[in-house]
Amino acid sequence: MDKQHFGQHSSSQFNEELESIRDHMMEMGGLVEQQVGEALEALLTADSQRAERVLEQEKRVDELEITIDEECARVLALRQPAASDLRMIIAVTKAVSDLERIGDESSKIATMAITLAREGESPHGYMEVRHIGNQVRHMLRQTLDAFVRFDADKAVDIAEEDNAVDMEYRSAMRSLVTFMMEDPRSISSILNIIWSLRSLERVGDHTSNIGEQLIFMVKGKDVRHISVAEMQRELKDPE
Amino acid sequence: MDKQHFGQHSSSQFNEELESIRDHMMEMGGLVEQQVGEALEALLTADSQRAERVLEQEKRVDELEITIDEECARVLALRQPAASDLRMIIAVTKAVSDLERIGDESSKIATMAITLAREGESPHGYMEVRHIGNQVRHMLRQTLDAFVRFDADKAVDIAEEDNAVDMEYRSAMRSLVTFMMEDPRSISSILNIIWSLRSLERVGDHTSNIGEQLIFMVKGKDVRHISVAEMQRELKDPE
Top residue of B180, B196, B215, B217 to mutate, by most chain A CBs within 10 Å, is B180
CB-based contact (8 Å) between A11 and chain B? Answer: no
Extents of the domains making up chain A: 12-236
pLDDT band of residue B239 (cuts 50, 70, 90) is: low
- B217 vs chain A: nearest CA distance in angstroms? 12
DSSP character for A6? S
Q: What is the largest CA-CA distance in chain A?
A: 68
User: Looking at the predicted structure, is the pLDDT value of residue A96 above 70?
Assistant: yes
DSSP character for A123? S
**Element (DSSP H or E) covering residue A182:** helix A154-182
- B184 vs chain A: nearest CA distance in angstroms? 5
Q: Which of B74, B94, B96 shows the shortest CA–CA distance to B18?
A: B74
- How far apart, in whole angstroms, are the C-alpha atoms of residue A95 and residue A147? 10
pLDDT digits (tens, 9 = 90+) for B82-104: 889 999 999 999 999 999 999 99
- How far apart, in whole angstroms, are the C-alpha atoms of residue A62 and residue A55? 12
The residue with greater pLDDT, A3 or A220, is A220
Amino acid identity, position B238? P
pLDDT digits (tens, 9 = 90+) for B44-66: 999 999 999 999 999 999 999 99
pLDDT digits (tens, 9 = 90+) for B146-177: 999 999 999 999 999 999 999 999 999 999 99
Are residues A86 and B73, on separate chains, in Cβ contact within 8 Å? yes
Q: Which of B169, B160, B154 shows the shortest CA–CA distance to B200?
A: B169
Are residues A94 and B90, on separate chains, in Cβ contact within 8 Å? no
CB-based contact (8 Å) between B177 and chain A? Answer: yes
User: Looking at the predicted structure, is the pLDDT value of residue A130 above 80?
Assistant: yes
pLDDT of residue B5: 55
Using CA coordinates, name the residue in chain B closest to A78: B82
ipTM of this complex: 0.92
Are residues B180 and A185, on separate chains, in Cβ contact within 8 Å? no
CB-based contact (8 Å) between A230 and chain B? Answer: no
- A38 vs chain B: nearest CA distance in angstroms? 22
pTM over 0.90: yes
- How far apart, in whole angstroms, are the C-alpha atoms of residue B148 and residue B2? 6
pLDDT of residue A3: 46
- A16 vs chain B: nearest CA distance in angstroms? 21
Q: Which of B162, B160, B146, B140 shows the shortest CA–CA distance to B231?
A: B160
pLDDT of residue B6: 54
pLDDT of residue A126: 96
Q: What is the largest CA-CA distance in chain B?
A: 68
pLDDT of residue B10: 63
DSSP character for A7? S
User: Looking at the predicted structure, is the pLDDT value of residue A10 above 90?
Assistant: no
Q: What is the mean pLDDT of chain B?
A: 93
Residues 6+ apart with CB under 8 A from A212: A155, A159, A222, A223, A224
CATH architecture for the domain at B12-236: Up-down Bundle (1.20)
pLDDT digits (tens, 9 = 90+) for A141-168: 999 999 999 999 999 999 999 999 999 9
Beta-carbon neighbour count of residue A83 at 10 Å? 9
Average pLDDT over residues B1-23: 75
- B78 vs chain A: nearest CA distance in angstroms? 8
Using CA coordinates, name the residue in chain B closest to A226: B62
pLDDT of residue A139: 97
- How far apart, in whole angstroms, are the C-alpha atoms of residue B180 and residue B183? 5
Q: What is the DSSP string of B138-181?
A: HHHHHHHHHHHTT-THHHHHHHHHHHHHHHHHHHHHHHHHHHHH
CB-based contact (8 Å) between B229 and chain A? Answer: no
Amino acid identity, position B203? V
DSSP character for A125? -
Average pLDDT over residues A85-108: 97
pLDDT digits (tens, 9 = 90+) for B224-238: 999 999 998 888 876
Q: Say what the alpha-carbon torsion angle A52, A58, A61, A63 is, to the nearest 10 degrees.
A: -130
pLDDT of residue B3: 46
Contacts across the A-B interface (CB distance below 8 Å): 69
Average pLDDT over residues A60-71: 97
User: Looking at the predicted structure, is the pLDDT value of residue B185 above 50?
Assistant: yes
